Amino acid sequence: LPWNKDFIGNLYKYKGCWYYPNTLQGVLNFEKGFKPQETDIILASFPKSGTTWLKALTIALFERLKNSNSSSDDDLHPLQSDNPHGIVPFFEFNLYLKSSTPDLTKFSSPRVFSTHMPFHTLRLTLKDSPCKIVYVCRNVKDVFVSLWYFRCAHLEKEVDMKSLFESLCEGVGSFGPFWEHVLSYWRGSLEDPKQILFMRYEEMKSEPSAQVKRLAEFLGCPFTEEEEEDGSVDKIVELCSLRNLSGMEVNNSGKTFNTVPYFTFFRKGEVGDFKNHLTPEMENKIDMIIEEKYKGSGLKF
Ligand code: A3P
């Protein structure tokens, strides 16, 4: 590939999607060994679309049910003892990276997992399972900027932004092409809205309480009237805010996949940061690609 430069590395295409070799092995192991349970919940996304936030919200929503059943307020909240990626692992990076038969006994029902695999790949393994999928998508321009910062942080050097941009436009990059990823879940959510909840980072930012309620309802743990009145929704929004999570000690030490420092998952968390980074030409190019790729899908930003 012409993109096999140090900022991209070697990529392999499998079922229309690009993967790094290790990740692809994780996907193959997952396909071989994963047996879904009806109550499973899978949090899915393209990288840098709000995965960490979605994980934190889901953890907090279920944790509040436990708290209302227990008398002890002294226990540390799971979000204070571990990073969201430590609590909700990825199939392909964590659980199935080395084996097709990982020990999943520590997960109690509902088991919550996550993935960056596109839906057309995931669904082959889920078969007819009614398990629930939540997909979070984000404007590709902000995804790109976030990805660039993330890549620079890992490589500990400044990656050439133009080259990364061109590779994204070509659809080449880990879990790319971006638009096929988004469209696979978008179409899936139209086909079966009971199975896939399609969320948008931008809406989570502009109306967090409404989106958290929507998520809770979809996950089968809606807020009670009493909870709505006592401010429980706002408490979860605040607990999972970027400011709060990024200030927690647990998110300032430790790494996921043994190499990625947890703090690099928290940066600015803004909508439209691309305006500070993309030239008008870059914006125009990506706008045209997106318009063409999403044409007729009903998906708009
Ligand atoms: P930015 O780089 O634009 O700041 P992912 O979790 O999928 O890797 O996405 C990371 C992006 O989500 C980063 O975006 C990060 O700052 C943002 N993010 C992480 N936690 C967040 C939170 N609790 N609320 C809002 N945005 C968050």
Cα–ligand 1 centroid distance for 296 (angstroms): 29
197-241: pLDDT as tens digits: 999 999 999 999 999 999 999 999 999 999 999 999 999 999 999
Helix axes 161-169, 140-155, angle to 10 degrees: 130
Q: For residue 301, what pLDDT is reported? A: 75
The answer to whether ipTM exceeds 0.90 is: yes
Q: Whose CA is nearest to atom 8 of ligand 1?
A: 48
Burial grade of 28 (CB within 10 A; 0-12, 13-18, 19 or more):
middle
Q: How many residues does the chain have?
A: 301
- Cα of 80 vs its chain's centroid, Å: 20
153-180: pLDDT as tens digits: 888 888 899 999 999 999 999 999 999 9
Cα–ligand 1 centroid distance for 266 (angstroms): 5
Q: Whose CA is nearest to atom 22 of ligand 1?
A: 242
The answer, as to whether pTM is greater than 0.80, is: yes
What is the best residue among 182, 202, 242 to mutate for testing ligand 1's pocket, by most ligand atoms within 8 Å of CB? Answer: 242
Q: Is pLDDT of 2 > 80?
A: no
For residue 48, give both structure tokens.
Answer: 């840098």
What is the best residue among 46, 52, 263 to mutate for testing ligand 1's pocket, by most ligand atoms within 8 Å of CB? Answer: 52
Burial grade of 166 (CB within 10 A; 0-12, 13-18, 19 or more):
middle
92-121: pLDDT as tens digits: 999 999 999 999 999 999 999 999 999 999
Q: Is pLDDT of 71 > 70?
A: no
Q: Report which DSSP code applies to 231.
A: T
Q: Which residues are catalytic?
A: 116
Q: Residue range 120-139: average pLDDT? A: 97
- Whole-number average pLDDT of the chain: 93
